[in-house]
Structure 1
Amino acid sequence: MGTWNSRGLRGSTLEDLINHTNEWYREKGLALIQKIPTPITPVRIDKEKRHITLAYFDKISTVDYIGAVQGIPVCFDAKECASITFPLQNIHEHQVEFMRQFEQQEGISFLLIYYTEEQKLYYMRFEELEYFWNRGKNGGRKSFRMEELNPDFFLQLNRLSRIPYLDYLQKDLDIRDT
């Protein structure tokens, strides 16, 4: 398992770190978050290597992760971006709609965005995502820049191989309570 350090993600992917974090949160009794597998149908399989070499998606997936944090329903998606401008086309309309409906059911939805070049990770509240999404739908920019984001929601990373997103979920909840 790779670790976070001052030079970013090394030897691991964002998904691996989130999965590791979720396991740690589960072991500590803080949260139960599951990775939602994308349903696929294999078309071609390399029998020697036992790998799927061609497949198609069975249906549209929703978000990457779903679960509960001490009684609060939570769903989120993980995204990576190679530049300081995040194109909204990296988020699908059905994902935004699922997150909106999840919020209407009193759940918490968010994105974790890793800016690979900047080596920064951002917790994007659903309210913020919805603002940028609606701006793009109404003829505005179909992307957002890092400088448009709330500086309080860039995750403070440590040298452990965990992402402290529950700290930012708490900030999100605090804002909703005001």
Structure 2
Amino acid sequence: MGTWKTRGLRGSTLEDLLNRTNDSYREKKLALIQKIPTPITPIEIDKKSRHITLAYFDMKSTVDYIGAVQGIPVCFDAKECAVSTFPLQNIHPHQIAFMKEFEAQGGIAFIILSFTAENEIYYVPFDVVNRFWVRMEEGGRKSFTYDEVVPEAYRIRSHRDMYVHYLEGIQQDLDRKEEKGGDSE
């Protein structure tokens, strides 16, 4: 009898893993996080099936996920990067503005970044992302590298049915902000 070898959840996208993790968080009453659907404008609708057959994406969406963790408002975007350099063009100005305003209201904003070639996922605090963004706006690099971000990001590991267990990253981010005196920039 042959043995069956699994490669785990290798074929799943980051979003699939996050959705499963968020379901687990909800079931365990740890957090309530919701995927924000990308807004679309329908162009054609099949009258019989009432399905949208042609549409375009609206450019202005906020972030991928929003919710609350133990009473703390959180919002984040999920990004994947196949190489060791992440282009900042993958983040839109309105997303940076939204995350900045979200943190100004007492929430926690961040990016979950999967470096697929490294098979590693990181929690990147908003102030770290914003520093790279400001550098770009001031004429610097239009990207950041794996080596630049990893020392300031928090590695996310899986834990049982929490495939992208980012709550630990939130706690580390909160601890760091408390040490800095609440100053996030």
- TM-score over 0.5 (shorter chain): yes
Runs of at least 4 residues off by over 6 Å: 46-51
Greater shift, 11-20 or 152-161, is seen at: 152-161
Higher relative contact order, structure no. (Cα contacts within 8 Å, ≥ 6 residues apart):
1
Q: Is the 8 A contact 1:8 1:119 kept in 2?
A: no
Q: Matched residue of 2:122: which SS? A: strand
Specify the code of the residue in structure 1 equivalent to 2:60: I
Show the 5 A alignment for 1:40-119. Answer: 40-44=40-44, 52-58=52-58, 60-119=60-119
RMSD of aligned Cα (Å): 2.3
How far 1:9 moved relative to its partner? 4.9
1:25 maps to 2:25: yes
Partner in structure 2 of residue 4 of structure 1: none
Cα pair distance change 1:130/1:8, threshold 3 Å: farther
Q: Matched residue of 1:37: which SS? A: coil
Q: Matched residue of 1:149: which SS? A: helix
Structure with bigger gyration radius: 2
1:121 maps to 2:121: yes
Greater shift, 59-68 or 166-175, is seen at: 59-68
Aligned counterparts of 1:153 and 1:51: Cα–Cα separation in 2: 42
Aligned counterparts of 1:113 and 1:159: Cα–Cα separation in 2: 20
Partner in structure 1 of residue 157 of structure 2: 156
How far 1:65 moved relative to its partner? 0.4
Specify the code of the residue in structure 2 equivalent to 1:174: D
TM-score, length basis structure 1: 0.88
Show the 5 A alignment for 1:2-21. Answer: 9-21=9-21
Gaps of 5+ in 1: 1-6
Greater shift, 56-65 or 113-122, is seen at: 56-65
TM-score, length basis structure 2: 0.84
Q: Is the 8 A contact 2:80 2:115 kept in 1?
A: yes
Aligned counterparts of 2:166 and 2:102: Cα–Cα separation in 1: 19
How far 1:149 moved relative to its partner? 1.6
Specify the code of the residue in structure 1 equivalent to 2:170: L
Deviations 1:56-85 (A, max 9, x none): 134510000000001100000001111100
Aligned counterparts of 1:167 and 1:80: Cα–Cα separation in 2: 20
Specify the code of the residue in structure 2 equivalent to 1:95: Q
Gaps of 5+ in 2: 1-6, 180-185
How far 1:38 moved relative to its partner? 1.2
How far 1:41 moved relative to its partner? 2.0
Aligned residue pairs total 173
How far 1:109 moved relative to its partner? 0.1
